[in-house]
Structures are given as C-alpha cells and as structure tokens.
Amino acid sequence: MKIFSKEQIYKGDKLTAKKQNITSTELMERAGTQIFNWIHQRMQGAQVPIHVFCGIGNNGGDGLVLARQLINYGYNVHTYVVNCSDKRTQDFLVNYERIKQTTKKWPIMLNCKADFPPIGPDDIIVDAVFGIGLNRPPNEWVKSLFQHFRASNAFTLAIDLPSGLYADKVPEDEDGVVWANYTLSFQSPKLVFFLPDTSKYTRQWEALDIGIDLEFLQQTDTEVELIGKNEMLPIYKPREKFSNKGTYGHGLLIGGSYGKIGAMILSGRATLASGAGLVTTFIPKCGYIPMQSVVPEAMVITDVDDEKLTAIKFEIAPTAIGIGMGMGQDEKTQTTFQKFLKSNSVPLVIDADGINLLSKHKDDLKLLKPQTVLTPHPKELERLLGKWKNDFDKLKKAKAFSKKYKCIIVIKGAHTITVFEDKLYVNSTGNPGLATGGTGDVLTGIITGLICQGYEPLTASLFGVYLHGKSADIAVEDYGYQSLTASHVVDYVAQAFLDLFAMPPAQPPAENEEENL
C-alpha cells in the first residue's frame, strides 16, 4: 500500500474533485460519511455521549459532517469548535451552516480552558481538531484541551491523524498531541503511525476509502510503501515441478564464536526453512558437533581456530552469503572479515558483528558491493550512522548512507523499515514476541535463503522481513508474546508461506440467501 506525502494528498484531492466533477465540499461529505458509517456500524445507535471536537480547517469540517450525520441518526452528540484561530476554511464554513440548520444544539465555541466540557471515561471523543494542515505547535490552551482528553480516559477516535501530530515531522512536546485509541485515516495511513517516536499517538489505525481518483493512486510514485500480503503475493516464486536442490541455490552462512554457535544454528535452520536448496555453515571448530547434530541438513566447514573465525576459506560456490551472526569482534576475525569483503562477489547479507566491525572500520564500507543487505537493530544502526535527532533524521541519514554505499538497510524494529536509496518500505507484520534473542539471526537466514532462490536482494529483504514477522504473528497464537522464541519463528516460516495463499474464512450465508439454497 502506498503511503502518500501530505503534498500528494492535497494534489489527489484536487485532481479527484476535478476528474469526478465534484466540489471539495462533496469530497468532505464523502470523508465524513465514511467516518459516520464506521461508527454507526459499531455503535448501532447506542446512546453513549459522543463529543466531537472540530478545528477550524478541513479536518474540523470532516468533524462537522460527522456530527451532523450522527445527529440525524439520533446519537447523543455534543459538538465543539476549537476556536484556535480566526481563520476558517470554506468547507468548514459550509458545514458549520449545515449543522446549524440540522439541530438547535449549535456547536459550542471553545476559547479557553474555562470552556472545556466534562468528559466521562465511558464517553467517546472524536478528535477533528487538526489534520495534515498542522504547521506549528498548538496554542497552550489547545494543548491543555488535548491533556483534558487524555485525563478523561474516554475512547478517543482521531480523524485522519491525531491532532498535534504532523504528517512529516516529530512533535516537540508530547502533551501537545492527542493520544488516540484509534485513527481513521483517509485513503492511506501516514508514515508517523509506524515510527518509534510517533506511533504511540495512535494504538490502532485504519484507512478509509474516500474514492480518490484511481489513476492518481496507481500512477503516483510514493517515497514510502507499506508492505503486506498484497505486495508480497505477486513476487512469490512458485517451486517448479522439474527442479532439484541445485535450482534453489546454495546458501553459505559465516559466523559463530565460542558460546554463540546457537546464532548460526538458528540462521542455518532459517535459510533452509525459507527454501534454499543447500546450506553450508562456516564456523569455528567448537561448533562442528552441535551444528551437525542439530541441523543435519546443513553442511559444515570449520575455521582452523576452535573458538573464533580467523581465516574464512571455502571451496564451494555459494549463491548467497549471510555473515556476522554470533561472529564476535576479535582482531583476527576483523582481519579475515576485511579480506573476505575484498574478494567476495557473491550477494551478501551482513548482520550483527559484521555490522559492528564495519562501524569500527568505516573505510571497509567502500568494499561493499552494490545491493549488499545490512540488517541492523537500532543500536547497530547508531554505530553505523552516528546519533540522530529523531526518527525523520534517522531515515534521512539512512537514505544518504544507502545512496552512498548503494546498500539496502533493513532497520529492525516494531515496524521494520527497509531503506534503499530514497525509498522506504514499512513492514506490516510482526509483534512484540519478536523482542527476544536470536530472532535477528533467523531474519538473516531467511533473507539469505530467498536470495539463493533468485529473489533480488531488495525483494528478498522485503519478503524476508514480511515472512519473519508473519511467522511470529502465527506462532504467537500458540506461544504467547512472552514464550515465543527464535526457534518458534523458524518453525512457523512454513505457516507464513502457506498463509500467503490461505483463503479468507467463508462467511455464513445471509438469511435470505439461505432460503435460496
């Protein structure tokens, strides 16, 4: 799913009105009606007090459309105008008139703290104060209003995005933002829903289709894309009938050190589970017996050293290599890693200590071949890029780094973001159960296995991240967040593949349909 910038959203609105020969007021009516339908479907007329707080722009206009429709359907509605500026947009004014003609209970003007209404914990707040038009921090009294929302503990539904949250930067003061339970966003979600600094402002979100011009949606290239099943299904490569293990590539995993052979076992198992034809692991001697015993499918080449890697040498011709898992940062390991980078021409995934060694010896970064995949967690990324001011700064630095070294950066996190040059791919699968040792080793194994099967490194990264998160999402149903381990994630990769083709559960026939059976 594309994630549009706010400039693109404004452009899409204009174009839609023009092409569909409708006014912007009609588009607002559509937007407000979609929100109304969403609420009405869930509330079915329940008389819970609904407080609709409208700003003075088009987000406020959406709120007024919603409030009018709720009133028409007999809901218990209280409408407020948060009078934070003397300006009014045209469509706000149209809908302000319309609501005044609908009910004698006119919207209440809020001008200062003394005007705030009481809000009960079982009431509902609709936040339509600011949308994508926010361009400066809210006034002090408006901030207090947002804190009043939060203190009420009422369910808060934000329209388009939580007020006080910018579409494209991190707010300075978290008290100046609405903390929403749910956000109904028009046409596509906003990037801020997925970033560690800003995702806390909405627990859940949903995108509502307001009929923006299809051609515009299809043809506009966005900087950000949300990756889900719909994006992954078309790239899936089916297994051929007349194929053999050679068809699906030979994955080589290099890493491990005394006490960290488990990382390599997990990676090895994951490379196999993702479909590689053959897997070889290159590990220190101490790992030979455990690896052969636990992963009988994998072949093993050992270093001359018992406990660490000192001389990476092999005579096989791998299709893809994953390196760095549990590898340690010994000086001798650094020397052989650098030598390896100089001579290697096989597609490469670098993880963990591989990344740490690159961060310590930044000159080695120029040895990376184009489309090398790096899979850092936030600390490893910081070592690589230096400190950042906030998430937008982090992404800017990551894009510059990716362009400089032509590499793919998989920034691991609650929503893993894969960065390649100027593009950002936000993953939609995964859960907090993945916050446990070894899951990163599994991810590296999966991505390496996918490259072995002919997926381009970028596609393999996106698909690998998606499958890894999906495995965890399925596994968590059986193991719960606390007990989920990296081994479970490997065990459930199969389910993640199968889920790509799972049919949605059949709906029971509607009553009148049943009669016709």
Ligand X SMILES: NC(=O)C1=CN([C@@H]2O[C@H](COP(=O)(O)OP(=O)(O)OC[C@H]3O[C@@H](n4cnc5c(N)ncnc54)[C@H](OP(=O)(O)O)[C@@H]3O)[C@@H](O)[C@H]2O)[C@H](O)CC1
Q: Which residues bind ligand X (CB under 6 A)?
A: 9, 13, 27-28, 31, 55, 57-62, 84-85, 87, 89, 130-138, 159-160, 186-187, 210, 212
Binding-site partner at residue 135 among K ion, ligand X, none, CB < 5 to 8 Å by type? ligand X
**Interacting partner of 42 out of ligand X, K ion, none (Cβ under 5 to 8 A depending on kind):** none
Q: Which helix (H) or strand (E) holds 52?
A: strand 50-54
- Residue 13 neighbours by CB distance under 10 Å: 21
Residue 82 makes contact with K ion by CB under 5 A: no
**Is 60 annotated to bind ligand?**
yes
For residue 275, say whether it is annotated as part of any ligand binding site.
no
Q: What angle do CA 335, 336, 337 make, to 5 degrees?
A: 90
Map residue 53 onto helix, strand or coil: strand
Query: From the CB of 129, what's the least distance to K ion, in Å?
Result: 6
Whole-number minimum distance, CB 161 to K ion, in Å? 6
Size of the site for K ion (CB under 5 A): 4
Q: 127 among the known binding-site residues?
A: yes
- 279/503 Cα distance (integer angstroms): 32
25 is an interface residue for K ion by CB under 5 A: no
127 binds, among ligand X, K ion, none (CB under 5 to 8 A by kind): K ion
Q: Is 413 annotated as a binding residue?
A: yes
Choose from K ion, ligand X, none: what does 158 bind? Cβ within 5-8 Å by kind: K ion
Is residue 62 marked as binding? yes
Residue 331: exposure state from Cβ atoms within 10 A (0-12, 13-18, ≥19): exposed
Q: Tell me which of 158, 167, 266, 474 binds K ion, using CB under 5 A.
A: 158
**What does the block give as tokens for 2?**
């594309």
From the list 66-74, 149-157, 160-168, 497-505, the region that binds K ion by CB under 5 A is 160-168
For 128, phi then psi, to 5°, come to -125, 45
Residue 408 contact partner, candidates ligand X, K ion, none, CB within 5 to 8 A by sort of partner = none
Contact residues for 42 (Cβ-Cβ < 8 A; gap 6+): none
From residue 147, give the alpha-carbon distance in Å to each of 119, 199, 227: 12, 18, 34
Render the burial of 352-389: b for 16+ CB within 10 Å, e for the rest: bbbbbbbbeeeebbebbeebbbbbbbeebbeebbeebe
What is the C-alpha to C-alpha distance for residues 148 and 284, in angstroms, rounded to an integer? Answer: 60
8 Å CB contact between 322 and 449: no
Q: Does residue 226 belong to the site contacting K ion (CB under 5 A)?
A: no
* Contact flag: residue 202 with K ion (CB under 5 A): no
As annotated, the binding site includes: 58-62, 127, 131-137, 160, 163, 263, 326, 377, 412-416, 440-441
As annotated, the binding site for (6S)-NADPHX includes: 58-62, 131-137, 160, 263, 326, 377, 441
Q: Which residues bind K ion (CB under 5 A)?
A: 127, 158-159, 163
